[in-house]
Structure formats: structure tokens, C-alpha cells
Structure 1
């Protein structure tokens, strides 16, 4: 297990270096003059030169990247915004809880819906439930997330008035000191965005779980357990579900990036100022450090979750450690 852990950690470090390098190249080498963006379009050439020297852009590229990587690793700093002059860390820490609430809330809904539906659909193929599940899968993978969000916002939020159609409440804020706050207000505002993202993603999971369970049911060890007279409930719980759910663990880790990408559209529909909204604002005002910080933060989150999923998978199935 220790050797497997070391290999995965080394691979995560390689991915981290690759992601930061590519991101730095894209955002600070491809633009014609980042110093001009930082100083403003009306700045004089002398002012642009001063800003260029202050930012270290007059140094060789490899020196700039090493300093950037050193600041990121040792100090945990993603730089300073060109527009607001505030720390990029502060902007990301403000937006990250909103996106995290959306992503993890949606994933909980996805697993709560897709796993039971996929299992029962596989155990009763061609039944009414199976046919309805396949119709849901087709709808879920075909409709765009922003359209589903607009429909739910109009019907559930505006017409029925069951949920808010926009806004966000902090989990740990005190309602007396803010417009809203607390666990209930947070869940009340986030249920519709999470449901929108879950509807889109759950269709893929239903189909995947159904296929894995149906394939596991044909395995020799399942037929052997039935031939020995094991109760059907025990066969399903011990032999089928335990093995069929292993690939789902990997799929969850891989889909964190997909959910982060889909969260951009959901945040725009429901007026959530998460990482997606922060990235779109930084694009509009050419605030490269903020945009770079969002990309790197998202990439690091994906790397960490992939590492956790790899370790969890190896803990569940020891055979993975030998590969």
C-alpha cells in the first residue's frame, strides 16, 4: 500500500507541475503585454515599463515561472488582481464555498437517485421501471443544463414559489447580521441549483450503474453463489453490489471536473457568484491573475479528488495496488 501511495503522490506532483506550467504559459506568455493590462489602456509607456518591472515581466520566462511556482507552493499565493488590486486568494476563497456547495450537493443528489434507480432497473430489465429509467437517461443526457435550470427556476421558483430563483446564503453566517444565513437558508437557496446539475449528471450514472449490475449478474461467482443455495438478497448485496459499485467510485472522482465545468452555467442561471461567475467576470475585464487562479484552483481540486479516489479504490479492492 505504501508503494502505491508513493506512486500516486508522485504522479499527482507531476500533474501539478504540468498544469501550473501550461496555465502560466497561456495566461502570461501568449498575451501581447500583460503589463499593459495591469497598468490600464491609458497608461504611458513609462508607467507600463514600471509595472512590467514591478511584476517581474522583464525577466526570462523560466525565472518568472520558478518565482510563480515558489510563491504558490511555499506561500500559497496566487498573486494579485490587476483590476481590484486584491489578493486572488481572497476572491477564490469567497467564491469557492458557493461552487463547492453546488458540486457536492449535486453529487449527493446524483448518487441518491442514480444508484437505486440503476440497481432496480438492472434487476428488472424491460420492466416499466426500466423503461421509465431509460427515458429519464435520454432526457438527462440530451437537454442542456442551463435550459433545465431556466425551466425549474420559472416553474418551481417563480410560478409555484417553492424555492428562491436566485441568491446564496452563507451556512455559518448569523441571520441577524445578514439578509439570510444558517443551514436552513443555505439549503433552501441551493436545492434548485443542485437539483438542476444533478438531473443532467444522474442520467449518465443511471445508465452506468445499470450496465455494471447487469454485467456483474452474469459473472461466474454470482452463479456459483446461487448454485450453493445462497439467498438472493445475500447474493445481490454481497456479490453483485459490492463489485458493481467499484467502478462508480472511480467515476465520481473523474466527474468532479465535469461538475465544475457544468457549474459555470448553473451559477449564471441562478445568480450565484461562485468560481464560474468569478472566471467570467475576470475574462470580461481581462483580469488574468484571477482567471489563472480559478483555473489552477480547479485543477488542484481535481488532482486532489482523483488522488483520494485512487487511494479509496485501492483500499476497497487490494488488487489495484499491484497495477
Structure 2
């Protein structure tokens, strides 16, 4: 297990470096001048040269990439001052440290991702298991129809309807907003519960359909039929044998989805005006803000590769047939 995790960790480092390098070099392939954003309307060549020097843009692109990556671990010196580790540079648009912006935005994204993940995993898997247990009955058809409807909906539509019904109509909740959980847990929960429910609708449909199909497949396996032939109860066969075997693809999908959500639930954040990493990524693209875009990309990429490592390591616990070499 240790050797496996070490290999996966080294591979993850390579993947993160490749993605960061591709993002960095593609940025400079764009026909734009980042320093112009800070120069203003009455920009002169001398002022532009000063800004390029202050932002570290006066060096070759490979040198800039090297300084950027080493600055994450050792800090970096700019003309405007020293940027301590972890240094992600200064924003081209507002000249603020990018690390401070990430720290400020990440709790919002973390709250959306974890809360939404709990809702869609528990509800989606639960619905799928119920549908599989009552396969062919009206219960199965009912939940299958709900999953099909849910998979056809879009977050921006459901979000507007949820705001109109639960906020403006019934007045059950205030407008969604993020409040630090350390300051007021109740306001944190009530301010983010609608985004959780709206975000989870699409995922619930996917997880319920996958769980149902996997459970039906597992219930037809030889080892499950053997367990039934031995006289084991239906509940024991269902949970101990079929459910455990069906978990592997579900955990795989969950790891990918959770890692992606840590990079920002872009549509959800825009729908409810929540300032998370997804909204920050979109604004950094529109403003041609490389340091901010790189920071969000690194956070999202790291979250995805770490989630995949955890999922791969969990296979040995979930399914005894899996052996990690």
C-alpha cells in the first residue's frame, strides 16, 4: 500500500506540473498584454515597462514559469516587495496577493462542495438502492422517472425557481449568502442550504441511476446467488454482498465529482451570487489575470488528483477482490 501511494503521489506531482506548465504557456500565446490592465488609459511605453518589471513580466516565459513555481515553496521578490511562501504572485487586475484571495474565496467553495456532496451522495445512492430492491415495481418506475427528470434540469433554471419559491414566495429562507461557520453555524447552514439542494439535483439523478444499475448487476452475480442458496437473509445478501460490490464505480465517480467541485461550482456560484473559486476563475479569464487563473487551476488540479489517489486507495477496503500492487 505504501509503495502504491508513493507512486500515485509522484504521478500526481507530474500531472500538476504538466497542467500548470500548459496553462502558463498558453496564457502567453494569447494576443494580449497583461500589463495594459494596470497601466490605465494614458499609458506610455515607459510606464508599461515599469509595470512589466514590477509584475515580473520582463523576463523570458520559461524563466517566469520557473520563478512562479519556486515562489510557491520559497517565496519571491517583486519590485513592489517580498511575497512570502506560499507565493502565488500578485493579481494583474488589482495588484493584491493572489494567495490572500484564494484563502478568502476557498471557504465558500469548500462549504458548497462538501455540503452538496453529502446531499447528492446520500440521497442519490439511497434512491438507487430502493429502486434496485423493488425492481420492476411502481416504486422502481417512480424513482427512475424522477432521475430522468432531474437529469434533464439545469442548475440555473432550478436555482431561479428555488429562489422564487423558498425565498420570495414562502419566505422560508433568506437570500443565499456565505457566512463563516466559526462565527454563526446557524446562519452558515441557512445561507447555503438552497445552493446545496440545487447543486445536488443533477448529481442525485446520476448517482441514483448508476447505483440502481450496479445493484441489479451485482444481484445477478454468482457469489450473490450462492449466498442466497446458503440461506442468508435478503437484507444480509443485499447489503453485505451486492451493495459492497456496487460501491467501486460509485466511489470512483464521487472522487471525480468532489475533486471537480473543489475547483468551484461555477454555475451554482453565479446563480446565487456566491464568491467562490469558480466565479473567481471566470473573472480571471475575462480579465486576463494569469496569477489568479494559475492559482485556481492549481487548487482544482490538486483537489482532483488527491481525490483520485484516495479513491484508488479505498478500493482495497471496499472490494476485497482488488489488490494494489
> Normalising by structure 1, what TM-score?
0.91
For residue 84 of structure 1, report the CA deviation from its aligned partner: 2.1
Match of 1:117 among 123, 127, 133: 127
> Normalising by structure 2, what TM-score?
0.90
Which has the larger displacement, 124-133 or 189-198? Answer: 124-133
Higher share in helix:
1
Which has the larger displacement, 312-321 or 201-210? Answer: 312-321
Match of 1:226 in 2: 228
- For 1:62 and 1:262, locate their aligned partners in 2 and report how far apart those are by CA, in whole Å: 28
Which has the larger displacement, 276-285 or 201-210? Answer: 276-285
For residue 64 of structure 1, report the CA deviation from its aligned partner: 1.3
SS of structure 2 residue aligned to 1:172: coil
Match of 1:302 in 2: 304
Note if contact 1:282-1:288 (Cα within 8 Å) is conserved in structure 2.
yes
For residue 318 of structure 1, report the CA deviation from its aligned partner: 5.4
Give the direction of change, closer, same or farther, for the CA distance of 1:133–1:52 in structure 2 (3 Å limit).
same
Match of 1:135 in 2: 145
Match of 2:81 in 1: none
Structure 2: 5+ residue stretches without partners: 75-84
Q: Which string of whole-angstrom CA distances, capped at 9 and with x for unpartnered residues, describes residues 107-147 of structure 1?
A: 10011211111011011112122111111111111111110
Which has the larger displacement, 45-54 or 155-164? Answer: 45-54
> 4+ runs of 1 displaced by more than 6 Å?
none
Match of 2:256 in 1: 254
* Larger relative contact order (CA 8 Å, sep ≥ 6): 1
- For 2:29 and 2:39, locate their aligned partners in 1 and report how far apart those are by CA, in whole Å: 17
- For 2:148 and 2:259, locate their aligned partners in 1 and report how far apart those are by CA, in whole Å: 22
- For 1:154 and 1:19, locate their aligned partners in 2 and report how far apart those are by CA, in whole Å: 40
- For 2:197 and 2:292, locate their aligned partners in 1 and report how far apart those are by CA, in whole Å: 29
Query: How large is the Cα RMSD of the aligned pairs?
Result: 1.9
SS of structure 1 residue aligned to 2:35: helix
Match of 2:33 in 1: 33
Match of 1:164 in 2: 174
Give the direction of change, closer, same or farther, for the CA distance of 1:321–1:52 in structure 2 (3 Å limit).
farther
